[in-house]
């Protein structure tokens, strides 16, 4: 092998190595771009759904009732429903409502043979879910659910400050308690006449009802503060289902042959003849009376 041939072979080998290296680098860069695109998409969904209204400020004394209303498309409603329910339980929440259903848009039947028909059904699956989660975990749950989003229709997050309302209810309870005590003392010490006692008792009951209502309202608000409510409407693309079903036999397939029909007609005619003969036999007394009358009339008429 001469010197020039060695140089050429060396250059070819070097070029082959460099081209392979560039191909590997390009393929690696393309894979990284796809991976980064998926990660960016998930982060974008999480950022789009989340909001500062869902984050609890631990240093604030205010009390917020937080709610979220989100509608989005997923790849598979059933699988996403299970994922949402699992995430809710994982973070200490619970499901209060779920309505999973299939809505049929159209159904076509195509007869493919004498015995079979192809049924093509187009339908959409959706689910309305209501969950409640601890207010400190609302933002985390929303970001976890965002991983299921294929397309976001809308998201509404509210944080209603109920601090003053709860304070107002507490003040109402205090005033009501004070009025109850004064009424009880008045009834015990001054209530002498029956009508006065009855009226005072009615006023006392009204005060107690007002106190109970304020207490229950505060308990309800506190519960809404402690557990945020998320209403989710999820759906998927239209699906198509095809299945082969057996054709129902026509009633004509069960009709008897002509010979059997003729034989049935003969039997029917014979039965009718039997009924006629039976009917005539039943009338024999009238026939006998008629004959006797005829012969008697004829005999007396001759005389």
SS (H, E, C) 114-177: CCEEEEEEEEEEEEEEEEEEEHHHHHHHHHHHHHHCCEEEEEEEEEEECHHHHHHHHHHHHHHH
Do 62 and 165 meet the contact criterion of CB atoms below 8 Å apart?
no
| pLDDT above 60: residue 137 | yes
| pLDDT above 70: residue 78 | yes
pLDDT band, residue 149 (cuts 50/70/90): very high
Condensed to tens digits (0 to 9), the pLDDT of residues 188-207 reads 555 455 455 545 555 656 66
pLDDT of residue 23: 46
pLDDT of residue 100: 94
Q: Are strands 151-161 and 64-73 parallel, antiparallel or unpaired?
A: antiparallel
pTM: 0.57
pLDDT of residue 17: 56
| pLDDT above 90: residue 79 | yes
Condensed to tens digits (0 to 9), the pLDDT of residues 107-118 reads 898 888 877 888
pLDDT of residue 37: 44
Condensed to tens digits (0 to 9), the pLDDT of residues 231-252 reads 999 999 999 998 888 877 666 6
pLDDT of residue 60: 63
CA gap 211, 181 in Å, rounded: 12
CA gap 228, 132 in Å, rounded: 5
**CA 201 to mean position of chain CA atoms:** 50
Residue 54: name the closest of 224, 220, 228 by CA: 228
More confident residue, 232 or 46: 232
Cα-trace Rg, the chain: 45
Q: Are strands 94-111 and 116-134 parallel, antiparallel or unpaired?
A: antiparallel
More confident residue, 166 or 135: 135
Q: Name the least confident of 28-32, 181-185, 247-251.
A: 28-32
pLDDT of residue 81: 94
Query: Token digits for 174?
Result: 């205090």
Question: Mean pLDDT, to the nearest integer, of 168-177?
Answer: 68
pLDDT of residue 76: 94
| pLDDT above 90: residue 31 | no
Residue 197's Cβ-count burial label (10 Å; 0-12, 13-18, 19+) is middle
pLDDT band, residue 30 (cuts 50/70/90): very low
| pLDDT above 70: residue 54 | no
């Amino acid at each position: 092998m001469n010197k020039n041939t060695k140089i050429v072979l060396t250059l070819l080998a070097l070029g082959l190595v460099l081209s392979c290296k560039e191909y590997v680098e390009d393929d690696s860069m393309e894979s990284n771009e796809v991976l980064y695109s998926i990660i960016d998409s998930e982060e974008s969904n999480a950022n789009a759904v989340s909001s500062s209204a869902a984050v609890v400020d631990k240093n604030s004394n205010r009390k917020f009732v937080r709610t979220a209303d989100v509608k989005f498309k997923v790849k598979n409603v059933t699988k996403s429903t299970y994922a949402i329910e699992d995430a809710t339980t994982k973070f200490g929440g619970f499901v209060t409502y779920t309505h999973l259903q299939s809505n049929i848009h159209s159904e076509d039947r195509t007869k493919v043979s004498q015995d079979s028909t192809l049924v093509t059904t187009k339908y959409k699956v959706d689910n309305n879910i209501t969950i409640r989660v601890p207010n400190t975990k609302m933002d985390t749950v929303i970001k976890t659910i965002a991983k299921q989003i294929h397309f976001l229709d809308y998201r509404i997050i509210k944080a209603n400050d109920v601090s003053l309302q709860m304070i107002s209810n507490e003040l109402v309870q205090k005033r009501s308690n004070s009025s109850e005590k004064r009424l009880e003392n008045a009834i015990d010490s001054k209530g002498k006449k029956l009508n006065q006692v009855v009226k005072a008792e009615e006023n006392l009951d009204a005060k107690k009802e007002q106190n109970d209502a304020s207490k229950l309202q505060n308990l309800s608000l506190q519960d809404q503060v402690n557990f945020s409510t998320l209403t989710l409407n999820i759906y998927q693309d239209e699906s198509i289902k095809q299945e082969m079903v057996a054709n129902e036999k026509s009633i004509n397939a069960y009709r008897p042959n002509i010979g059997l029909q003729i034989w049935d007609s003969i039997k029917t005619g014979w039965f009718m003849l039997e009924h006629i003969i039976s009917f005539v036999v039943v009338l024999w007394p009238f026939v006998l009376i008629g004959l006797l009358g005829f012969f008697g009339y004829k005999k007396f008429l001759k005389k």
